[in-house]
Amino acid sequence: MLETGSVSALRLVAAGPEGTSEILVELGIVLLVLAMLGRLAARLGIPSIPLYLLAGLMLGEGGLIPLDAGEEFLAVGAQIGVVLLLLLLGLEYSPQDLQHGLKTTWFAGLVDGFANGLPGFLLGILMGWSVTASLLLAGVTYISSSGIIARLLGDFERYTNRETPVILSILVMEDIVMAVFLPIMAVLLVGASLSQGAVAAAVAITLVAAAFFVSFKFSRHVSAAVHSRSRELLLLSVLGLTFLVAGLAEAAQVSAAVGAFLLGLTLSGQVADDVRDLMPPLRDVFGGIFFVFFGVTIDPRDLLPVLLPALGLAVVTAATKIATGMWAARRAGIGSKGQWRTGVSLVPRGEFSIVIAGLGIAAGVQPQLGPLAAAYVLILAFSGSLMMRYAAKLGPPSRWLPARASTR
């Protein structure tokens, strides 16, 4: 078995099939562009996700440099990117974190969901979209980017701040909601009728609950079985298990992403620590491919018609996010400046809005969903992180006025 494998591999190297060189060249270009943009983002102090999206828009059909040979590889790479993104998200949290989050923040989570999902849903309905497509847009506008926010909190040295636990627990709550929202959407996207959808959604929720149960009860056993001192063996076991679980989840119509997220929750202890050390670069590379690929699938010419709705949605949902954040912080006894920081910090939207929109694109539910989500995330990932940097420092708007008056 091994021999035939290596022989065909040799053949591939000696005389690759038609198109191999194009695929490699295109892949090389994509990765180098990502590397350049990553450096640029680091220098400017902005998140790299929106830059990767922009790169995808420019590389795709209708863009400056159209790609086609490597698209199939990019598609698979993007899928791997989503799976790794969610695996590591799951790994970030221990079951105890989630339990604590559910207990303390469920109400804030509910308010957050309504205040920020509703504008998206209403816009979808207003534009004449189906209920399913509008629900997807609600998901896009609801979920803040835990990736961008946690990173910036670290960069701005705000972990010690008293409002930070409020921000983080809202992010946890959003991620828990994601774990339930994604499978329901996955089901709605295939199941035609609402009653069929309801039954299937119940099945999906039961599956998720069962997975939660397993992760609480048997976390130690699964982790012990996967663990190895060899980095190579650990990586192979974790990746193998992840793809297997993700694939099976996809086959059961729960969505690969959710399967990976639940597996991430299940792994704990030493394995989780080791994988958290080992995996982020891999996730960032494939995650980058995911954002580029999302951009590639969107024709930049489709952005123009949705620019205005996206802008309006961004303004409205930035305001609703700030309001919910401030409300949650006030409930936790945080002062007015801290309330403002909490609200502003929750504004950035990013990776998960794209994951949700990607789900809709794959199902071909609404052609405008992709461009709208792309424009929306571009606007809020940039402006949200700028607001986190500057608005948070300046303090709440109520303080700007007297300060200005006194300088005059």
Nearer to other proteins, 165 or 247 (CB): 165
Q: Considering beta carbons, is residue 163 or 351 the nearer one to other proteins?
A: 163
Other Cβ atoms within 10 Å of 154 Cβ, number: 10
- Report in angstroms how near the CB of residue 11 gets to other proteins at its nearest: 45
Residue 325 CB, nearest approach to other proteins (Å)? 13
Tell me which residues touch other proteins (CB under 8 A). Answer: 92-93, 97, 100-101, 146, 150, 157-165, 168-169, 171-172, 273, 276, 334-335, 337-338, 341
Compute the distance between CA of residue 69 and CA of residue 282 in angstroms, rounded to an integer: 23
Q: What separation in angstroms does the CA of 218 have from each of 213, 214, 223, 231, 396?
A: 8, 5, 9, 23, 46
Nearer to other proteins, 84 or 189 (CB): 84
**CB closer to other proteins, 93 vs 376:** 93
CA-to-CA distance for 194 and 298, rounded, in angstroms? 29
Closest CA relative to residue 381, chosen from 41, 59, 64? 41
**Residue of 120, 109, 48, 144 whose CA lies nearest to 310:** 120
- Of the pair 19, 335, the CB lying nearest other proteins is at 335
φ/ψ bin of 238: left (φ > 0), alpha (ψ from -120 to 50), beta (otherwise) = alpha
Contact status, residue 347 vs residue 384, Cβ threshold 8 Å: yes
Residues with Cβ within 8 Å of 378's Cβ and at least 6 positions away in sequence, in order, are 50, 53, 54
Q: Of 178, 183, 225, which is closest to residue 204 (Cα–Cα)?
A: 183
Closest by CA to 212, choosing from 377, 81, 45, 93, is 93
CB nearer to other proteins: give 16 or 154.
154
Nearer to other proteins, 162 or 382 (CB): 162
Torsion of CA 329, 333, 337, 342, to 10 degrees: -20
Here the tokens at position 231 are: 């980095």
The secondary structure of residue 290, as a DSSP letter, is H
- Residue number with CB closer to other proteins (98 or 303): 98
- The b-or-e profile of 287-303 (16+ CB within 10 A means b, else e) is bbbbbbbbbbbbebebb
Q: Between 94 and 237, name the residue whose CB sits nearer to other proteins.
A: 94
Cβ(188)–Cβ(343) below 8 Å:
no
**Min separation Cβ 272 and other proteins, Å:** 9
Query: Whole-number minimum distance, CB 271 to other proteins, in Å?
Result: 14
Q: What angle do CA 278, 78, 132 make, to 5 degrees?
A: 120
Least distance (Å) between residue 276 CB and other proteins: 8
Tokens 């959808």 belong to which residue? Answer: 197
